[in-house]
Amino acid sequence: MIMAESLGIVSFALQLMDIATKVYVMSSNLRNNSKRCESLGENCRLLSEALSKYSQKRTLNDCQMDEEYKTFQKLKDVLRRCLRYVIRTSANKFSYNLWEILFIQEYEKLEDELAKYLSYFQLSVQIHTANASDDVKQITLENNSYIKDVRRIMDDKLIQDFTKIFIKDLKLKPIENEPSKFRSDYKGQPVIASEVSYQISDNIDAAADPGSDSSHSIRRSVAILQKLANLGSVHGSYGLYRQNGRVYVVTEDLPCGSLTEVLKKGKLREKMKQKIEIAREIAYTLAYIHASGIIHKSICCDNIYMTKDLRPKVSNFVYGREVRYASTF
C-alpha cells in the first residue's frame, strides 16, 4: 500500500512534472505542435498537483491505490518515451517528420489517459477534503454516473485478474495429520494445496468485490508470489485454488516438509556446518526479498521448506506485504 507518510508518491509526482517540463521545453520549436506541447505540460502540472494533495489522504482502500499507482507508472513511461523522441530528434534532424508523427500518436494516447485519471484524482481530493458529510453526499450525488463508470472499470479489471490467478479443477487428496493441507497434481507436477484463513465466494462476480478484505489479501498475496516466481530459494507457487468458499495456495510438493519436521526427525543432528549453511541461505533470500520491497511477516521454521538435498526454500507469503517506501523492515 502507498502510505500517506511515504515520500514515494510525492516524489513520483515531482518526477512526472520534471519530465513533462523537459518535453515542453525541448519541443517548443515544433512548428504545428506548440499548442499540443503546452497542453501536455499543463495537464502534467495539474496532475502533479492533484497527486501531491492526494498522497496526503489515507482513506481510499488498497485496491484503488494499487491500481492507480500502476496506471500512473504507465503514464510516466509514455512521457519518458516522448522525451526520448525529443532527444533523438535533436541528435538527428532528418528524423524530424517521423518523430513529429510518433509524438502526436503518443500524445493522443496519453491525453485520454490523463483526462480520465486527472478527473478521478480531482474528484477524490474533492471528496476527501470536504468539510462535512453533507458536502460529501452532494459531491457524490453530482458525480454519481462518473463514479459508477470508474468503479465498473476497476471491477472488470479485478475480475480479469481473478480469472488469471485461480487454478481450476484440482482433485484434493487429504494428508494424514494435516487437516489444512492436500496433495494434488497440476500440469503433471505433484503439488500441495494449503488452506489460508480468508474465504471467498465461488461466484467470481461476488468474489471480486474491491472493498472486501479477502480481495485485498488475495491480490496482495498473488502479486508477491508472481514477483518471486523465478527465485530458486523461494517455495514455488502455481497460483490459488478455490473450493466451497475456501482458498488454497498451490505450491510445489517438497516431500521433506518444513524445517521443523526435518529438525524433529534429527536429520541435522550434529551437522553444525550444514545448519550454518542453511541459516546463511535463508538470510540471503530474505535480504533479496526485502531489497525487492517485500516483507515476509512470518519467518519461522514452519515456513521454511526443504528440498531432497536439504536446501531451504522460504514459503508462505500469504500474509506478506509489498512496500514502496524506504523501510528498515
| Same domain flag for 185 and 318 | yes
Structural domain includes residue 20: yes
Structural domain includes residue 43: yes
Total domain count, the chain: 2
Structural domain includes residue 156: no
| Same domain flag for 137 and 186 | no
For residues 173 and 183, what is the distance between their CA atoms, to the nearest angstrom?
5
| Same domain flag for 135 and 199 | no
CATH number of the domain enclosing 78? 1.20.930.20
For residues 110 and 278, what is the distance between their CA atoms, to the nearest angstrom?
50
Handedness of CA 7, 13, 17, 22 (dihedral sign): positive
Give residue 126's domain range. 8-142
| Same domain flag for 73 and 189 | no
Condensed to tens digits (0 to 9), the pLDDT of residues 287-313 reads: 888 777 777 777 888 889 898 889 999
Between 258 and 124, name the one with better pLDDT: 258
| Same domain flag for 241 and 137 | no
The confidence band for 284, taking pLDDT boundaries of 50, 70 and 90, is: confident
| Same domain flag for 178 and 135 | no
Between 63 and 32, name the one with better pLDDT: 32
pTM of the model: 0.46
Structural domain includes residue 149: no
> Grid coordinates representing 219?
491480490
Between 318 and 286, name the one with better pLDDT: 286
Q: Is the pLDDT of residue 99 over 70?
A: no
Condensed to tens digits (0 to 9), the pLDDT of residues 144-162 reads: 666 666 556 555 655 666 6
When mean pLDDT is compared over 2-6, 151-155, 160-164, 273-277, the highest value belongs to 273-277
Structural domain includes residue 30: yes
CATH number of the domain enclosing 247? 1.10.510.10
| Same domain flag for 316 and 228 | yes
| Same domain flag for 231 and 101 | no
| Same domain flag for 103 and 232 | no
| Same domain flag for 15 and 138 | yes
DSSP codes, 46-60: HHHHHHHHHTT---S
The confidence band for 39, taking pLDDT boundaries of 50, 70 and 90, is: low
Structural domain includes residue 167: no
Q: Amino acid identity, residue 260?
A: T
| Same domain flag for 232 and 298 | yes
